[in-house]
Amino acid sequence: MSAPFVQGWCPGAHRPMMSGDGLVVRVRPRLARLSAAQALGLCELSERFGNGTIDLTNRANLQLRGVREDDHQALLAELATLNLLDAEPGIEVRRNILVSPLYRSGDLSARLTQGLIDRLGDLPTLPAKFGFAIDTGPERLLAADSADIRLETGRDGLILRADGAETGRAVTEEDAIDQLIALAEWFASRFTPDKRRMARVVAAQGLPSAWQGSAPVELGAKPLPGAYDLGAIYGAAFGQLPARQLQELLGDSGASALRVTPWRLILLEGGAAIPAPHFVTDGSDPLMTTDACPGAPFCPQAKAETRNIARALASRVPGSLHVSGCAKGCARMGSADVTLIGHNGRFDLVKQGRAGDEPSQTGLTEETLMTMDFT
């Protein structure tokens, strides 16, 4: 199998990425939140400039797909009008921040996230995918999600933790961002072309004891679709949000804002939990444990169509399912109970592994997969 080409960077709004169906334009919501007006405006832009679907990424960003190159500047102007665009491309690249989506307005998570946004210009030069997580609720929710430096709730207060280290450094709200920048500077002086993430640098070089010693609190359970104090949570199969149906859901639910998560869930602030056939409303739905990238023909590296077969197999695979168009495995970095990798229009099968691992079976057709026993 030929190795897929890894871009080494993520698309943005100013710097989109070309895919099989046009440009992929990424929008990074500040504090993981769009007002209802912004969300409705983004839906309209998806239909006007894109393919009518908004992608929800595993970094809690939103993407418009299928944008024509000659429409890009007009789209940027509309995003700026909605206040969804950083004026400076360099700040957009640095604003790679995950925030636990169950924060309350003005609480510690919100204050720290805004504090980091205000200080992005003070960060050293970092690799393109380097990111931060603000996870300071009563329980940690983001520990399994990609980030290099984490502000978390510790057993004795706020801690700053380097990804790859089991413990972190005790900090206060007043010095947390200064210490975060100092840890970023430590990393910036040590990363190499083949070690561009914090966990790899920590594993290779070790971490000074000053940045360790304070344990984080235990992990909490991630939310599921349903009604919460903050509003209603809905799932998005494969991270796809159909723009027209999202517009209707925002209006019918009475939501005042939309929050995004890295778990293919959206939270509608103040919104009622109402029937929504185009979204996942049952936490036990097998689509919540099924990942699939856009696949062929939408990604030029994909070797097979993915999402139709993922839907067909979701209820037949016990545990988690990942259908990937190629060996990169963009839709799921971790392992799955069953992983299918596109190869020349067919699929290779990996059990208890990731795309890119050695397959146990190769050259499987869709017809064969539909009759297989995956238990």
pLDDT by residue, tens only, the chain of 375 residues: 444 444 555 788 998 989 888 999 999 999 999 999 999 999 999 999 999 999 999 999 999 999 999 999 999 999 999 999 988 888 888 899 999 999 999 999 999 999 999 999 999 999 989 999 999 999 999 999 999 999 999 999 999 999 999 999 999 999 999 999 999 999 999 999 999 999 999 999 999 999 999 999 999 999 999 999 999 999 999 999 999 999 999 999 999 999 999 999 999 999 999 999 999 999 999 999 899 998 988 888 899 999 999 999 999 999 999 999 999 898 888 899 999 999 999 999 999 999 999 999 999 999 999 999 998
Closest CA to 32 of 271, 270, 269, 260: 260
- Residue entry with tokens 């520990």: 143
- How many H-runs (helices) and E-runs (strands) does the chain carry? 9, 20
Domain spans of the chain? 17-86+227-269, 103-211, 286-371
CA-CA distance, 174 to 110, in Å (whole number)? 14
pTM for the full predicted model: 0.91
Is beta strand 226-228 parallel, antiparallel or unpaired with respect to 231-235? antiparallel
CATH code for 103-211? 3.30.413
**Fold that domain 286-371 belongs to in CATH:** Sulfite Reductase Hemoprotein; domain 1 (3.30.413)
CATH code for 17-86+227-269? 3.90.480.10
155 Cβ contact list (under 8 Å, min separation 6): 214, 215, 216, 217
Say if residue 297 is preceded by a cis peptide, omega within 30 of 0: yes
- What does residue 62 show for φ and ψ, rounded to 5 degrees? -120, 140
Do 103-211 and 286-371 agree at the fold level? yes
CA-CA distance, 373 to 317, in Å (whole number)? 8
- Using alpha carbons only, give the angle 93, 99, 105 rounded to the nearest 5 degrees: 120
